Structure 1
Amino acid sequence: MLDPLPIPAAVVTRVDGAPQIVMANPAFVDRQLMPGAVSAIDVALLTELVSVASRNDSGKANRPWTSEDPVKTRRYDVTAARIEMPGLDWPHFLVSLIDRTSEIETHDSFRRETMRDSLTGLPNRAGFEDAVESRLAEQGSDGRVTTSGFAIITLDIARFSQINECAGSVVGDELIITVARRLMGRVRKTDIVARIGGNEFALFVPLRGSNPRELSRITSRIRDIFLNPYRLSDLEIQIDGAIGIALSKPGQTDCANYIRQSQIALKRAKRTRQAEIYTPEELDKARRRFTLETELRKAIELDRLELYFQPLIDMSNGFVTGFEALARWKDPDYGMISPVEFIPVAEECGLILPLGRWALDRACQVLNEWDAKAGEVLPLKVSVNVSAAQFARDDIPSMVANILRANKTKPERLCLELTESVVVSDPARAAKVMSALRALNVSLAMDDFGTGYSNLAYLQQLPIDVLKIDRSFISDMLKERDKVAIVRAILSLASALGMETTAEGIETLEISQTLAALGCSFGQGYFYSPPVPADEAYAYMITRMG
C-alpha cells in the first residue's frame, strides 16, 4: 500500500504566541476533501505544533489527530513546517495533513481477524491475552479494581484426536463449535471465553473473593457442558474434559504466564480426572519433565540406556524359565533415573516409540548373546512391556515382525506384556492388533491384572496367554485374608480360561510356597532376584536352569 500524500491545509502564523490561520488551501476548502478539518483542528494542537517547530532545528513538528467528523471519524498525521516568508516579521508555518483513516482501519480490521478463531468466532490465544490484559488495564486505570482476583481456566476435550480420526474432521469441527456454544451459554457477562488450541479452550473468570465455593461453582458449570451427549451429524457422542486452573496473584497480570500455569495444572487434571489448581511446585516438576525429555532424547540417540532383566521362575520346580526386560537409565549428570519417572515423560512427548522399539530389539540381541555363550539355543522366553501409548500410536505387529526377522529370533521366545488400559481405550483395535501378534506366534500377557477395569468378556475373547497378578495383591497376602481370596479367584479364572499366571512382587519364601501350592505358574520378585544387567542375569540363569 502506497502512503497517502500530504495535503497542504493552511499557512499558520504566530501572533503574540497564538497561532492564526492566514491562508487556507482552496482545494481543501472548496472541494471539501477534508470538510472542516482546518477550522476543527484543536487550537491546543496547533499551538503545540508551532511551538515545537519553532524550537526544532529541522523546523518541523508532527502529531496524530482524530477529527470527530459528523459523518465519519477520520485520523490524520498533522505536520507543521516552518516556511520563509520574506518581508514578514512573524514566523510562518505550513500545516499539512495526511489522512491515515483507511490505513488504520485496514490495520485494525486485520488485527481483529488475526485475534479471532475462524471456526468458533471466539478470540484465539493472542486475542485472549489481549482481551484479558485490556480488561485488567481498565480496572486499574483509575485506581478502582472491580474484582479481588481472577482465574485463568483451561479446558481440554478428551479423546478429540480419536474422534477426529474415526468420524472425520467435519464432525471434529462440529464438536468444537458445539462445545464453544455450550461454554458461552454457561459463562457470565464478565467472563472471557477463547479457543487457544485445537481442542483447548481458555476462560478469564473474575472472582469476588477467595471463597473456594465460588470457584467450585464455576468449574461445576463448566463441567456441566459434558453432562449430555453431543449430537453431531448422524452420531451421538459422550465426551469428557479436563480442567486446569491458575489463580491470580497481587501485582501479576501477565496473562501468558497464567495460561502456562493453568496448562501445567491441566496435565495433572488429565491423570486425576478432577479440576486441578496450579501450585508453584508444579512448575519445578514441569521443568524437571522438560529436562528429562531433553536428556532422554539424547540418551536414546547416543544409546545410553541399558536393559536389565528380572528372572521368571517356574513355581513347580524353581527353575528359571525366562526374564522380564526392563529399561534402566543412568544419566551421567543426574544418576540413576527411575522408570516410574522417565516412562511417563516418554509417553507424553512421543519418545515411547523409539524407546519401546529399542527395548524389544535389545532384548532379542541379548537372547542371541546368551545363546552364543551357552553354545545352544536356550529354552528361555523374554518378556517386553508395551505401553498403552506405544500400542495406540505404533504399528505393533509390523514392528515386532521386523525386529524378530532382523535378529533371527523365534517368535515363540517373545512375550509382550500389555496393560488393561490398552483394551479399555479401544477394544476393537486392541482385539485386531492382538490377533495379528498372536498370528506371529508371539505370547501375550495381561500385566497388572486386577488393578484396572477388568472385563471378563475381553479376557474370554482376546488371545491372552498369561495373566500377571499385580504385586499389590501379592505383598502381605498372608496377613490379609481378602488378598489370598482375590489371588485364589484370579488363579481359578485363569485356569478356566486356559491361561497361565505370573505373580509379581514375591519377596518371601512363605509367599513363594503359598503361591506354588495355590497353583500359580510363574513368579518373580526380589525373593529370587532384583532386575540386574544382562551379564548378571546370565550368571543367575546358569545356576537355576533345569
Structure 2
Amino acid sequence: MEAMPLAVAIMVIRDGRLMIEDHNRRFALLDRTDPKLSGRPLIARSGFGVDLSTFLASGEAQSDYQWIDGDEITGLQFDVRLTRLDSLGKEEARGIVTLVDRTAERQAQRSLRLEMTHDALTGLPNRAGFSESVEELAEGAAGEHAILIVDVRRFSRINESIGPMAGDELLITVARRLMAALRAGDLIARTGGNEFGLLIRLNDGVEDAARVARRIANIFLNPCRLSELEIKIEAAIGCALFDNAADAAEIIRRAQFAVKAAKASGEFEIYQPSASRAARQRFTLETRLRHAIERDELSLAFQPVIDLATGEVAGFEALARWIDEGVEVPPTRFIPVAEESGLIRPLGRWALGEALRTLAAWDAANGRPIKVSMAVNISPIQIFSDDVPAMVAAELDNVGMRGGRLMLELTESALIADPDRATRTLDALKELDATIAMDDFGTGYSNLAALQRLPIDMLKIDRSFVTRMLADRDKAAIVRAILSLARSLGMETTAEGIETFELSQLLGALGCSRAQGFFYSHPLSADEAFDYWRGLNA
C-alpha cells in the first residue's frame, strides 16, 4: 500500500466494531491533519466512520461519494471510494477505503465561481449571480417578488470629469446606500457599469416596490462627497413583477425596459406589456429598414419649392420614401427609428448622393444645368457623429457639381444643441458654397444670438404656423415676426404647408421668398418632378 499515491486503508468490522486494520503513510498523515481534532481518528470525524460501517453492512461491492472533513468552507474535501474485500473465511466484513484530496481544486473552483458571480469593485453579486438568484425564484413566485433596476444617471459624465478612481468610489458609496435602503431578505447586485439590480419580496403587492423606490430616491437626496466635491446623485428606477410565464432573463429584461421609460419620464416606472410590444415593433422596423438600406430599396420623392415673386420652381426638397412589402411606411415612423438606431448615417449619405445624382440626370435631360436648388435634410445625429463637410464634398465631386446648387436643411436642435460644433460644420459647408437652411423654424429654442452667429441663409417657417394663420391671429403674428426677423438678418424665407391660393397670396404680400405645400404639388417621383419643372419654367 505504501507504493500507492493515494491515502489507502483496509477497514474491518470485528466484534461489532469498525476498525482500521492497515493503512499507508498518506492515510496516517490525514489521521492527524487537523491539530484541533487531535485524539480523534479519521473514522470518528464528520460521520466518516458511519459511512464506512453502513457500506460494509450493506453488501454493496463498491461505493463512490464526496466527503468533507469539517465545515464546507474550511474543511478538507475528498473523493472517497469504498470497495469490498474478501472476508478470508472469517465472519467479518472487510473493505478498502481510498481517499483523493480535492480540497485545493474545489477551493479554486469556489474562488473562480465567486469571481464569476460577484463584482470585484463592490463585492456585490454581478449580473450572472443576480440572474441565478432570480432564476431560483422565477418558478411559482408570480406576484410575490419583483425586480427593481436602479440606473445612476450622469455617471459617465461624472467619470469623465473627475476620473475613474473617483467614479469607482462613487459606485461603492451608491452600493452602500442602496444596501441601507433594503429590507432583510432583499438582494442587491451590480448588474452593469452604473446599474444596480434589486430582488425584493412583495409582502403588500406592488405598493411594496413603490415604497422601496421611494426609499431609494430619498437616500440620494444628500449629495455624495468625493474629495472636495459634492456630487448630487440622480437615479432612474424601473420595476418588473414576477410572472409565471416569464423566465429570469425575461423578467430582468422587462425591468430594464421599465428603467429606460423611467429615464424618459423622470418617474418610477413599472413595466407595461403594451410599451414592450411597441419597442419590439420598433426593433422589427429597424431590422427591416437596415435590410432596405443595404438592398437599395428606398427611393426619393421631390416636392417643388416655388419662388413667390416669379411663380417658377426655385428648387426641390428631396424626401425619403420606403415601401416595405407593398406598404408605404411613413417617414414619421422610420426616420425616428433610423435616428435612434444610427441608421440615419447610411440613410443620410444615400439620400444626399441620390438627390445629387437625380439633379445631374435632370441637367443631362435638359441639355444644360437647370436653375433649381436641391434641398436635402441633415439629421442632428449626422452633425454630431459624421464628417458632414467631407461627405458633401465627396458626393458633389462624384457628380461633378458645384455646391451652390445644394441646400442643406438642418433642424434647430441640430444647430442649437452644440453651437460651437454646428458653427464649425456650417462654416466648412459654406466653403463648399452650399446654402444652409434652418428647418421647422419657430418650433425649437432658437435665439437671436445663435441666428446671428451661425451662417444661415434661409429660415423655413414650420407648417404649424402657416396652415392656420388665416384663422388664427396669433399664428399670423408669429409668421410676420419671423419674416421681419429674417429680413433684418439678411436671410430668405420658405413657408411650408401652403394648401390654398389665399395663403400663397398672403405670404407673397408679406415678403416671404419661397413656399411649398400641397397647393403647388405633392411630392413627386424624379420623372414627374422634372416634368413639373419643365411645365412651369419652360
TM-score by length of 1: 0.84
SS at match of 2:296: coil
SS at match of 1:404: helix
Say which of 238, 244, 250 aligns to 1:257: 250
Give the CA deviation at 1:186: 4.6
CA contact (8 A) 2:86 2:94 kept: yes
Give the CA deviation at 1:357: 0.7
**Residue matched to 1:282:** 275
User: Does 1:517 pair with 2:517?
Assistant: no
**Residue matched to 1:67:** 69
Task: Provide Cα deviations, 1:20-72, integer angstroms capped at 9, x if missing partner.
Answer: 345363633466146643212426644665577x45xxx32222233326993
Q: How many residues are aligned here?
A: 524
Comparing 80-89 with 195-204, greater Cα deviation is found at 195-204
CA distance in 2, matches of 1:410, 1:355: 22
Q: How does 1:249-398 map to 2 (within 5 A)?
A: 249=243, 251=244, 254-332=247-325, 335-398=327-390
Give the CA deviation at 1:363: 0.7
**Residue matched to 2:32:** 32
Residues 282 and 211 of structure 1: CA distance in aligned 2, closer, same or farther (over 3 Å):
closer
Residues 29 and 343 of structure 1: CA distance in aligned 2, closer, same or farther (over 3 Å):
same
Q: How does 1:106-145 map to 2 (within 5 A)?
A: 106-133=108-135, 136=137
CA contact (8 A) 1:79 1:97 kept: yes
SS at match of 1:66: strand
Q: How does 1:201-220 map to 2 (within 5 A)?
A: 201-210=196-205, 215-216=209-210, 218-219=212-213
Rg larger for: 2
Amino acid at match of 1:483: K
Give the CA deviation at 1:234: 9.4
Residues 468 and 489 of structure 1: CA distance in aligned 2, closer, same or farther (over 3 Å):
same
CA contact (8 A) 1:179 1:225 kept: no
Say which of 456, 469, 488 aligns to 1:477: 469
User: Does 1:79 pair with 2:73?
Assistant: no
CA distance in 1, matches of 2:448, 2:331: 30
Amino acid at match of 1:155: D
Give the CA deviation at 1:259: 2.1
CA distance in 1, matches of 2:351, 2:311: 27
CA distance in 2, matches of 1:62, 1:293: 56
Residues 400 and 70 of structure 1: CA distance in aligned 2, closer, same or farther (over 3 Å):
closer
**Residue matched to 2:8:** 8
CA distance in 1, matches of 2:524, 2:155: 38
**Residue matched to 2:18:** 20
CA contact (8 A) 1:415 1:442 kept: yes
CA distance in 1, matches of 2:534, 2:232: 55
Give the CA deviation at 1:341: 2.1
CA contact (8 A) 2:408 2:434 kept: yes
CA contact (8 A) 1:154 1:259 kept: no
CA distance in 2, matches of 1:542, 1:388: 34
CA distance in 1, matches of 2:437, 2:481: 18
Percent identity between the two aligned chains: 45
CA distance in 2, matches of 1:409, 1:88: 109
CA contact (8 A) 2:412 2:441 kept: yes
Say which of 416, 419, 440 aligns to 1:448: 440
CA contact (8 A) 2:147 2:252 kept: no
CA distance in 2, matches of 1:46, 1:22: 10
Give the CA deviation at 1:408: 1.2
**Residue matched to 2:147:** 151
Give the CA deviation at 1:317: 3.1
Give the CA deviation at 1:101: 2.2
**Residue matched to 2:482:** 490
CA distance in 2, matches of 1:419, 1:228: 39
User: Does 1:246 pair with 2:240?
Assistant: yes
CA contact (8 A) 2:437 2:456 kept: yes
CA distance in 2, matches of 1:358, 1:70: 64
| Runs of at least 5 residues in structure 2 that lack an aligned partner in the other structure | none
User: Does 1:532 pair with 2:533?
Assistant: no
Amino acid at match of 1:289: R
SS at match of 2:192: coil
TM-score by length of 2: 0.85
CA contact (8 A) 2:12 2:92 kept: no
User: Does 1:403 pair with 2:379?
Assistant: no
Say which of 410, 415, 428 aligns to 1:418: 410
CA contact (8 A) 1:154 1:262 kept: no
Amino acid at match of 2:283: F
CA distance in 1, matches of 2:337, 2:242: 28
Residues 235 and 505 of structure 1: CA distance in aligned 2, closer, same or farther (over 3 Å):
farther
Amino acid at match of 2:199: F
Amino acid at match of 1:369: A
CA distance in 1, matches of 2:423, 2:54: 81
CA contact (8 A) 2:80 2:98 kept: yes
CA contact (8 A) 1:49 1:79 kept: no
Residues 394 and 519 of structure 1: CA distance in aligned 2, closer, same or farther (over 3 Å):
same
| Runs of at least 5 residues in structure 1 that lack an aligned partner in the other structure | none
Give the CA deviation at 1:437: 1.6
SS at match of 1:532: coil
Task: Provide Cα deviations, 1:454-474, integer angstroms capped at 9, x if missing partner.
Answer: 233212211112222222222
**Residue matched to 2:420:** 428
User: Does 1:100 pair with 2:102?
Assistant: yes
CA contact (8 A) 2:148 2:237 kept: no
CA distance in 2, matches of 1:458, 1:227: 36
Amino acid at match of 1:67: D
Give the CA deviation at 1:322: 1.1
CA distance in 1, matches of 2:348, 2:172: 38
Residues 149 and 229 of structure 1: CA distance in aligned 2, closer, same or farther (over 3 Å):
closer
